[in-house]
Amino acid sequence: MTNDEQKIMTTVDLNTVDSGPFIDAPGRTRRLMNWVFVDKGRMFWLLQIVGWVGFFFLHFLSVSTFVAGRSADSLLYSVASSLIGFLTTSILARPIYRFARKQGPALLLFIAIASTILMAFAMSAMKAQTFGILFGNAWMDTRGAAFNTTNYLFLIIPDVPVNLFLLGSWGGFYFGINYYLNLRKEMERAVLSARLADQAQLKMLRYQLNPHFLFNTLNAISTLVLEKDSKHANAMLTQLSAFLRYSLDSDPLQKTSLAEEVRALKLYLEIEKTRFADRIQVDFEIDEDLLDARVPSLILQPAIENAIKYAIAQMESGGVITISGKREGAMMRLRVCDNGPNAPKDPSALLRNATTGVGLVNMRDRLLHLYQDRSEFELSRLDPKGLCVSIKIPFETRG
């Protein structure tokens, strides 16, 4: 794995930071919820215990108290009812529903409904036996007389709807929670994949280096060597080396200070000044309070490169590039303007030109990836001549 790939994985691998389905909740809440939900086994038993303990209190305060009053018998009956429910859902319902989850929708529905009905009858039978042990069989005889039958199956049928509702609710929570966790897992994978793709795209955009710039620079150095101008050739090589080192070492997923960005742009421009000599003049008009602002590394370089290639290179003298920066409330505006004679009447056409618009499209796309709708990218024609590339991004500082 390369260093760049390691950086990407380090940046976006959610599992190394906070594993679990709750990635957007506040810190302590997220850690607690993830601790509960990240391990399905732990989650199941925790919810089982909490759920059936809650059922016990509800049953004791309502059903068993109504039947036998607040007594040791009613307490024991509530304990037995809760324990029967706990064992039924743990030993029978869980493995059956787990098997059903792996089937198709129709078979899943059939297994879930059929097994729930059968388990409701089984729970009714177990509760009837428990009730008989605790309170005797008089209640069963009374019920048999009311229904005019001694058939045990018919005698427990009145209890089946309650148990069916109880198991149905339990099954609904079981399938619902599992579906939710699977959905969150897929969402987390989708987010991770999207971030990886987005960051790979950012790296690709950031590392695009115009081959013409490198070719022209090396050609200029070659010319200086042939002319035996070793001093300027050596200076140009040093400048090129420093610029390329900065370009390759700076992480496109991170931001740098505007002061550092200006320093890198000056390295780039010094190389171009060696090529164009007095045909190019560069003016920096950046407010000092912006120098600590955070900006994407080399975000202005494509605009400067575009100005040199399509404006300065077309002029025999008097070429001027102005790089300015101003604060606009919570935003800041950076501009690269030239006085080239061939600016199109419709500057936006440059973005549709596959030959001339690569660098500007690169610049616009990087802003879109980094800031989404919190940035602006604009091309405008200057009067009487020239083109201006303007970007507006949030004013951010390291603090």
In the chain, the domains with their CATH numbers are: 3-203 (no CATH), 207-394 (3.30.565.10)
How much is the pLDDT for 190?
Answer: 72
pLDDT digits (tens, 9 = 90+) for 128-155: 887 777 767 766 676 666 667 666 676 7
Is the pLDDT at 2 greater than 50? The verdict is no
Measure the CA–CA gap between 27 and 24, rounded to whole angstroms.
Answer: 9
Q: Is 317 helix (H, G, I), strand (E, B) or coil?
A: coil
pTM of the predicted protein model: 0.51
Question: Using the 8-state DSSP alphabet, how is residue 373 labeled?
Answer: G
Measure the CA–CA gap between 185 and 26, rounded to whole angstroms.
Answer: 19
Which structure tokens are listed for 223? Answer: 């010319």
Is the pLDDT at 32 greater than 60? The verdict is yes
pLDDT digits (tens, 9 = 90+) for 86-98: 999 999 999 999 9
Is the pLDDT at 301 greater than 70? The verdict is yes
| Reported confidence tier of residue 305, pLDDT bands at 50, 70, 90 | confident
Q: Report yes or no: 256 and 299 within 8 Å, Cβ to Cβ.
A: no
Of the candidate ranges 29-43, 313-327, 384-398, the one whose mean pLDDT is the lowest: 29-43
Q: Report yes or no: 365 and 377 within 8 Å, Cβ to Cβ.
A: no
Q: Does the bond joining 384 to the residue before it have cis omega, within 30 degrees of 0?
A: yes
How much is the pLDDT for 133?
Answer: 75
CA pseudo-torsion sign 35, 36, 41, 45: positive
How much is the pLDDT for 6?
Answer: 39
| % helix, strand, coil for the chain, step of 5 | 70, 10, 20
Measure the CA–CA gap between 38 and 19, rounded to whole angstroms.
Answer: 7
Strand partners, 295: 256
| Reported confidence tier of residue 13, pLDDT bands at 50, 70, 90 | very low
Query: How far is residue 321 from each of residues 225, 340, 380, measured CA to CA in Å?
Result: 28, 9, 15
* Percent with pLDDT over 70 in the chain: 77
Q: Report yes or no: 22 and 33 within 8 Å, Cβ to Cβ.
A: yes
Pairwise pLDDT comparison (324 vs 77), residue with the higher score: 324
Measure the CA–CA gap between 166 and 174, rounded to whole angstroms.
Answer: 12
How much is the pLDDT for 8?
Answer: 33
CA 234 vs. chain centroid, Å, equals 47
Please give the mean pLDDT across all residues of the chain: 80
Beta strands in the chain (DSSP E): 255-257, 280-286, 294-296, 319-328, 331-338, 376-381, 387-394
